[in-house]
Structure 1
Amino acid sequence: MLDTLGDIQPGELWIADRNLCTSVVLHQIDVSRAAFIIRKHAQNVRYHVLDDERQIGETSTGVVFEQAIEIEDDFDNTLIGRRIRIALDEPTANGDTEMVLFSNLPGSVTALEISEAYRKRWDIETTFNHMDRMFAGEIKAIGSPRAALLVFSLAAIAFNTMSVVMAALRVEHGAQKVDEEVSIYHIGVNVQSDWNASALVGDAAAWEQRFATLSAQAKLAKAMSP
């Protein structure tokens, strides 16, 4: 992580889990003129409260509170930040009933917006997890960066296609029904099964003979012809 800190650029926003919540990380982001939204670690950051906690409002996950804090590093440097606490409507998988975030974003960015930005972080990580599990979007072996990029791109295309299907289902049947009754994992398995089934009608040489000499437009037209 210390090597990564050297890549921080001014104006960037770093959103991270509590494993990266240390005084060194927070101060390095701040002195780099970048911003952070990082979940509080139980022990790794020393800070002092500057004012009383006040309730800001509610999000889809709970009630949001905010207060100003001063964060110290190991060299007696300090930075003024914000402590944002979300009293969760439902406990997390680990049993946490609240979530605390640190941020150095300016007051023009509300605590509700900061809370929502952190929540969306999980959407991104969940997407990467789905791409890996359902569409094998990550090559385990190292040493083939171009192949890894190709595989990741194909997995992203497949996931985007599946997302369109899920969006259509939500429009037709309602978001709650789809979220409770439709498994995106099994949709992914069906996509993989269809691809495996295509191998039954011809080997690699047969597919190459059929499509290798065609232009991209011709390949698409031929594939879509009955």
Structure 2
Amino acid sequence: MIELLCRKMPLSSLLRGLLERCFAAERLEALFEAHAREQYTRDLLFSTVCDLLLSVVLRVYPSTHAAYQDRQQELNVSVVALYDKLKGIEVAVSAALVRETARDLSALLDALDCPPKPWLPGYAVRILDGNCLEASEKRLGVHQGLAAAALPGKSLVVLDPERRLLVEVVPCEDGHAQERSLLEAVLPTVQAGEVWIADRNFCTLGFLRGLRERQAAVVVRRHRSLPFGEQTPFAPAVGGEAGQRLFEQRIEVEGRTYRCVRIELPAPTRDGDTHLDVLTDLPDTVDAATVARLYRKRWTLETAFQHLEQHFASELNTLAYPRAALFGFCLALVAYNVFSVMRAALDSAHSEPVSKGVSSYYIAHEISATFRALLLLGEALDWQFLATCPPVQFAHWLRDVARNVRLDSLKKHGRGPKKPPQKKPYDPKQPHVSTYKLLRDQ
């Protein structure tokens, strides 16, 4: 049966196998026991809650209640008990889920033997950015009578852009919290030999000092409030990509020398800035053009956030309690990582990389059309062997299934640059037209 499903529904089979690997019940219960401090298990297992809410994040079900209703007999608990469990899942558990599954998926990428192209040879690149969850529905008693939007939380997310994996998340229940206040929790994840790319909001003395102490480098836009001293004037301009002019000088921050790469902008930003100043402590062998290119590719993480919003139910505004909303967001991060491994499996199954020409939209569309049928047809026990097999053996299974994918049905269809819309004349005396008459009179 499983071989037939892998032939007829290869993308959903890849997803099902990877989910079995990441969300094996025994593994999830061990993770919960290791990181939960307040919550405990009575009737409803953490692995069961993960499985149910993940089906909502993947849009198999339109809502949490719809998923509960379909699996009510299996759960054998009330819907109130389910929501009580969700609202109590601690942020440390959610963060550990992302971190540990990303570590295992990274090992699978190694086993697939499809090494990524390094962004900066000799360094492991990390991109840091914040994400604020959209306002939730006002379902709680404390929301009644309020006109202001109710923010369920925010988080800092770390991307490994070479592997396309979201490797760390720092969730925060306070939707009003300043992103800078969460940086202290990011520093323990920093490893020697990494280069961290971030926007100016993360350009603080504490963060720069923490990276330096951990022997990591930085590429960050200078914040205007950062205290520094000039050591040299700006050198004559050099050429960058897209005809940009780049200037470079040396500055001192807390007794340490940094290079400041000034990037002239073709047009002022909405804040009126005509240039960007990017700080780095990378060695001089990494020239100004490379520093500017690394900073410009910081938007890779913003693109990942867009994919989360487009292809997954990453921000469930029906989950008003902060912990529940953040848990759903973290499940979406894991789902994004699973999709990255699926893309790598497609590359590994063919003689040349193919994932860049594959549309995420068509992948998500095919999975949404077939995944629920696969769940109904395939017994859960059929997939359990994938949870414990060695990474090399599992990578071999991924390649075999990926060869069944029809790439021509997933091909991207590029379009030219968008033309600026022209303002159309409007006649209030003729608010509508007849398409039939327009076609007749053309």
Q: Where on the TM-score scale, by shorter chain, does this alignment land: which range?
A: 0.5 to 0.7
Matches within 5 A, 1:84-99: 84-92=261-269, 95-99=272-276
1:50 alignment partner in structure 2 = 231
State yes or no: 1:110 paired with 2:287: yes
Query: What is the CA-CA distance between 1:115 and the residue it aligns to?
Result: 0.9
Point out the structure with the larger strand share.
1
Query: What is the CA-CA distance between 1:29 and the residue it aligns to?
Result: 1.7
Matches within 5 A, 1:124-135: 124-135=300-311
Q: 1:56 to 1:146 in 2, by over 3 A?
A: closer
Q: 1:28 to 1:90 in 2, by over 3 A?
A: same
Alignment RMSD: 3.9
SS in 2 for 1:42: coil
Amino acid at match of 1:114: V
Q: Which runs of 5+ in 1 are unaligned?
A: 73-77, 169-183
Cα distance in 1 for residues equivalent to 2:403 and 2:286: 49
TM-score (norm: length of structure 2)? 0.37
State yes or no: 1:4 paired with 2:186: yes
SS in 2 for 1:99: strand
Amino acid at match of 1:46: P
Higher relative contact order (CA closer than 8 Å, sequence separation 6+): 2
TM-score (norm: length of structure 1)? 0.66
Q: Higher Cα Rg: structure 1 or 2?
A: 2
* 8 A Cα contact 2:312 2:332, kept in partner: no
Percent of aligned pairs sharing the same letter: 24
* 8 A Cα contact 2:201 2:223, kept in partner: yes
Q: 1:194 to 1:7 in 2, by over 3 A?
A: closer
1:208 alignment partner in structure 2 = 378
SS in 1 for 2:236: strand
Runs of 4+ in structure 1 over 3 Å off: 90-96, 137-150, 157-161, 163-168, 190-200, 215-224
Cα distance in 1 for residues equivalent to 2:260 and 2:402: 54
Q: Deviations over 1:37-64 (max 9, x none)?
A: 1111121x11111111013422225211
* 8 A Cα contact 1:14 1:35, kept in partner: yes
Q: Which runs of 5+ in 2 are unaligned?
A: 1-182, 317-324, 347-352, 386-396, 407-442
2:213 alignment partner in structure 1 = 31
Q: 1:100 to 1:193 in 2, by over 3 A?
A: same
- How many pairs are equivalent? 194
Q: Deviations over 1:81-137 (max 9, x none)?
A: 111100012444655321111111121211111111111221x21331243023218
Q: 1:14 to 1:219 in 2, by over 3 A?
A: closer
